[in-house]
Amino acid sequence: MTTAQTDEVVKEPPAAATPSDERERERMRRRLARKRGGGWWPYVFLAPWFVGLFGLTIYPMLDSLYLSFTKFDLLTSPEWIGGDNYDRMFTDDPVFWDSVHATLLYVVVSVPLKLALALGVAILLNRPLRGIGLYRAAFYLPSLLGGAVAVAIVWRQVFGGDGLFNDVLGWFGITGQDWISSPDTALYTLVLLAVWQFGTPMVIFLAGLKQLPKDVYEAAAIDGASPVTRFFKITLPLLTPIVFFNVVLQIIDAFKTFTPAFVVSNGTGGPLNSTMLYSLYLYKKGFTDLQMGYASALAWVLFLVIAGFTAVNFVASRYWVHYDD
């Protein structure tokens, strides 16, 4: 046999794979895929999160949606009544509309004031000053305390008839009133409490200000731009993503405000429902009047309103938020 004939024998095509070989290859391929993806271990570590998601979020939401179509008082079984809770809410519940009015007024007034104060203080704290860390901590401190029950009680004392605020007005010869007990001013004391908690958006604004390019400001200063011009032409446009982020968060937070209204009004929402914020009314219906079905319907309306405001904000952001490409 010649050398060429020997090579032809070696180069003969391999035999066709049997079904058992195909199964073995598929088993090896799956084993390698599991090794690359970590096998089942990622799912084991994520299991507590999935339990929380389905057990503490999705299931309660679906249960609440069902209860919103029932008459349920926690003592007897839920009774299906269709959309009567929603119909009653919009057509036969004046307190519901009082709570909507108080909540919208609270959101519209408190959110812009809070963000404006947070941005102004953040700009002041963005300067190189000795002990600047201490100043930042001092301004952030009210955000840690502002939502506490104790601070709400203090707030009630400050704006009472014999409170500190009237004492300050007395120095200027002005006779104050009981700001908490007046339906014309009670809600605005809650607005002041909300504005006082400007620390969280201030920290976010401060982080955004740190990221702005300094060469743009140097070029504007060389061209003779004033500080006001630099703020409106450079700082504010470059900061619009941060402003948008804070607007969305603060609107959601304002809609959910509960503790200050509950403590300042002693849980009544008075005087004359002037501090009856939506969350407080929802709580009263659910846990005071034991109308859980109606409270669930209120909760779903609040959820849809917040989702609607957030969606509108995202659509409107296309026209005023500028992202750095």
Residue 197 has a pLDDT of 86
**Is residue 302 in a domain?**
yes
Question: For 80, phi and psi rounded to 5 degrees?
Answer: -65, 125
**Is residue 178 in a domain?**
yes
Q: Which long-range contacts (CB under 8 A, 24 or more apart) does 224-227 make?
A: none
User: How far apart (Å, rounded) are the C-alpha atoms in residues 143 and 140?
Assistant: 6
**Is residue 246 in a domain?**
yes
- In the numeric block, the tokens 């079984």 are attached to 77
**Is residue 47 in a domain?**
no
The C-alpha angle with vertex 170 and arms to 165 and 176, in degrees rounded to 5, equals 60
**Is residue 202 in a domain?**
yes
User: How far apart (Å, rounded) are the C-alpha atoms in residues 191 and 106?
Assistant: 6
Question: 207: pLDDT confidence band, cut at 50, 70 and 90?
Answer: very high
Query: By the 8 A CB rule, do 321 and 239 touch?
Result: no
Q: Across all residues in the chain, what is the average pLDDT?
A: 87
**Is residue 305 in a domain?**
yes
The β-bridge relationship of strands 70-71 and 79-80 is antiparallel
User: How far apart (Å, rounded) are the C-alpha atoms in residues 319 and 269?
Assistant: 38
Q: How many domains does the chain have?
A: 1
The C-alpha angle with vertex 119 and arms to 104 and 190, in degrees rounded to 5, equals 35
Q: Which helix (H) or strand (E) holds 81?
A: none
- Classify 80 as helix, strand or coil: strand
User: How far apart (Å, rounded) are the C-alpha atoms in residues 119 and 285?
Assistant: 38
Structural domain including 184 reads 130-318
- Classify 79 as helix, strand or coil: strand
Residue 144 has a pLDDT of 72
Q: Is the dihedral of CA 272, 187, 286, 309 positive or negative?
A: positive
pLDDT tens readout for residues 122-161? 999 888 878 888 888 888 877 776 566 777 778 888 888 8
For residue 233, pLDDT over 80 is answered with yes
Most confident residue range from 15-29, 150-164, 189-203: 189-203
Q: Across 26-68, where does the E strand assignment appear?
A: none
Question: 4: pLDDT confidence band, cut at 50, 70 and 90?
Answer: very low
Type of residue found at 219: A
The C-alpha angle with vertex 104 and arms to 100 and 108, in degrees rounded to 5, equals 175
**Is residue 293 in a domain?**
yes
The C-alpha angle with vertex 259 and arms to 256 and 260, in degrees rounded to 5, equals 105
**Is residue 306 in a domain?**
yes
Domain of 142: which CATH number? 1.10.3720.10
